[in-house]
Amino acid sequence: MGAMSMTHGADRRGLALASAQLSSFDRQFTAQAQVQRPDRYRLLDALPLDTPRIARGSGVSYVAASFGSEAVSQDMGSFDRLLAFDIRTGLVCVEAGMAIGDLQRFLLPRGWYLPIAPGHPRATIGGCIAADVHGKNPARDGTFRALVEELQLHVPGHGLLSLDAHHDADLFAATCGGLGLTGTITRATLRLRRPPGAIALRRVPVANLAEAARVLREAANAQVLYGWHDGQSARFGSGVIHLGLADEEATPPALDTSPARDLPASIAPLPFTVWNARAIALANSWLRRRWCAPGMSVAPLASALFPLNDARWYFAGFGSAGLVELQWLVPHPRFEAFAAALGECVAREQPRIALVSSKLFDGHAHGLAFDGKGIALALHLPSPAAPRQRAFCEQFTQIALAHEGRPNLIKDATLDADSVRRAIADFEVRRLALARYNADGRFRSELTRRLAL
């Protein structure tokens, strides 16, 4: 992040804004933006009513969902307190700026946890709601909205509103997965679940993506369920399914409560891209030896929740050019044909793919959120501006569209408005539903500009 300079007198009430160069986690978007850092709820009203704005958590979005050159980013980092916790019923109320890793560390020793958590521990609760993120087995647990009992939303000119599925139900539904376009989430009450003592991780080797889909479907009730696959053309789709079941008899390692172990919100890139074809081949060979033999191991739940914590080197290795993540959910009846077409495309185009992962979904498409019934496939590609890489991204999107795929708007920086409209049949209806609460376009970001939201 670039150096910040303070601009005083930006508002008659003494509001101070900072000019900052902000970048998305994947390094595909950078903008010089104005940042407000309120530390009192009343300061959320300090901006003039007609000032474009967007809420910002820890800034770990891949797609610049929390900043833009035409909007003030309202940094919610000061609103990170735990407000209430009922150890009997498993309800917790927290402010929206609390990092999910910090909340899990508080809850686990007290016999509770959030079963749905994104891989990055610095993602904030407000961001998890606005993006309606998924966790380690969305088929079993659903998406983050399933945990939200109640939330508080700041709407300029209207103050703080309390919402739930029964009170202001339409606004509540639009806010969960609404990308910050209905207002600024300030706090939330969440439903918790009792954690297992540890996770027994079983490794199931698969020869291709079609076999992976069958294994995923058969293990739908596992607490942890995801696949890793080789992205090289000669072995495309081969890999392993990680299937995690509760192991109540195991004694997990002592809980590490050190926040310094968390993946940083911003990772300094290496001056060059490590992930060339040779490095990818070596990494895949190492992973095959480590992961692809049948077997089982016991892991503490905290490690299973945040597997990216030890991946600094992985993200730094993409260099200053960064990466793109392509993530689409393909319906079960179309997945095998999709996988075959994708394999042919990889063989023809020979792209560099650093990672391929798979997950099972068993929900219902709602709003613009990433949910439905099918298999989700995510690919990480280095050097996305290189002609071969860019051409493959374009072809991947066309293949996914041809097989009725649904894109993850909060992950895929290559998406444009036309592709999203083609992918989400009722996109215009969903856009207009959000526009009811954002008629003047007050809430906006680089993401909403790119997708014409």
Q: Judge whether residue 288 has pLDDT over 90.
A: no
122 close to 103: Cβ distance less than 8 angstroms? no
Check residue 2 and give its pLDDT.
Answer: 34
Segment 80-90 shows an average pLDDT of 97
13 close to 46: Cβ distance less than 8 angstroms? yes
Q: Judge whether residue 396 has pLDDT over 50.
A: yes
Query: How is residue 36 written in tokens?
Result: 């407000």
Query: How is residue 437 written in tokens?
Result: 């609460």
Report the share of the chain in percent with pLDDT over 70. Answer: 94
Segment 371-400 shows an average pLDDT of 96
pLDDT band for 249, please (50, 70, 90 cuts): low
6, exposed or middle or buried, with CB in 10 Å at 0-12, 13-18, 19+? Answer: exposed
Check residue 261 and give its pLDDT.
Answer: 62
pLDDT band for 254, please (50, 70, 90 cuts): very low
Query: How is residue 40 written in tokens?
Result: 């009192």
Q: Judge whether residue 234 has pLDDT over 70.
A: yes
DSSP code, position 263: P
224, exposed or middle or buried, with CB in 10 Å at 0-12, 13-18, 19+? Answer: buried
Q: Judge whether residue 87 has pLDDT over 90.
A: yes
| Least confident among 124-138, 263-277, 406-420 | 263-277
Cα(240)–Cα(424) distance, integer angstroms: 31
Report the share of the chain in percent with pLDDT over 90. Answer: 78
DSSP code, position 357: E
Segment 411-424 shows an average pLDDT of 96
151 close to 187: Cβ distance less than 8 angstroms? yes
Pairing of strands 148-155, 373-382: unpaired
pTM of the predicted model, to two decimals?
0.92
Cα(27)–Cα(318) distance, integer angstroms: 10
Cα(383)–Cα(306) distance, integer angstroms: 26
Report DSSP letters for 86-121, one per residue: ETTTTEEEEETT-BHHHHHHHHGGGT-B-S---S-T
Q: Judge whether residue 163 has pLDDT over 50.
A: yes
Task: Give the mean pLDDT of the chain.
Answer: 90
Cα(150)–Cα(134) distance, integer angstroms: 18
Q: Judge whether residue 298 has pLDDT over 90.
A: no
| Least confident among 189-203, 294-308, 368-382 | 294-308
Check residue 322 and give its pLDDT.
Answer: 94
Nearest Cα to 102, choosing from 80, 84, 119?
80
Segment 423-427 shows an average pLDDT of 94
Cα(97)–Cα(185) distance, integer angstroms: 9
Check residue 260 and give its pLDDT.
Answer: 42
Tokens 């219902």 sit at which residue? 364
Segment 376-399 shows an average pLDDT of 96
54 close to 68: Cβ distance less than 8 angstroms? yes
Check residue 11 and give its pLDDT.
Answer: 43
Cα(377)–Cα(75) distance, integer angstroms: 32
Q: How many residues does the chain have?
A: 453
Nearest Cα to 187, choosing from 135, 144, 124?
124
- Could you tell me the CA-to-CA distances from 429 to 76, 213, 368, 436 in Å, in that order? 30, 32, 10, 11
Sign of CA dihedral 196, 127, 335, 293: negative
pLDDT band for 255, please (50, 70, 90 cuts): very low
178 close to 153: Cβ distance less than 8 angstroms? no
180 close to 132: Cβ distance less than 8 angstroms? no
pLDDT tens digits, one per residue of 26-59: 999 999 999 999 999 999 999 999 999 999 999 9
pLDDT band for 3, please (50, 70, 90 cuts): very low
Query: How is residue 45 written in tokens?
Result: 């009203």
49, exposed or middle or buried, with CB in 10 Å at 0-12, 13-18, 19+? Answer: exposed
User: In 192-262, which ranges are E strands?
Assistant: 199-206, 224-229, 239-246
Q: Judge whether residue 133 has pLDDT over 60.
A: yes
Query: How is residue 70 written in tokens?
Result: 């035409």
| 270, containing H or E segment | none
Look at residue 160 and give its three-state secondary structure. strand
pLDDT tens digits, one per residue of 307-358: 777 788 899 999 999 999 999 999 999 999 999 999 999 999 999 999 999 9
Fold of 199-423: Alpha-Beta Plaits (3.30.70)
Q: Judge whether residue 213 has pLDDT over 70.
A: yes
Query: How is residue 390 written in tokens?
Result: 């860019």
pLDDT tens digits, one per residue of 94-132: 999 999 999 999 999 999 999 999 989 999 999 999 999
Backbone angles phi, psi at 37, to 5 degrees: -120, 75
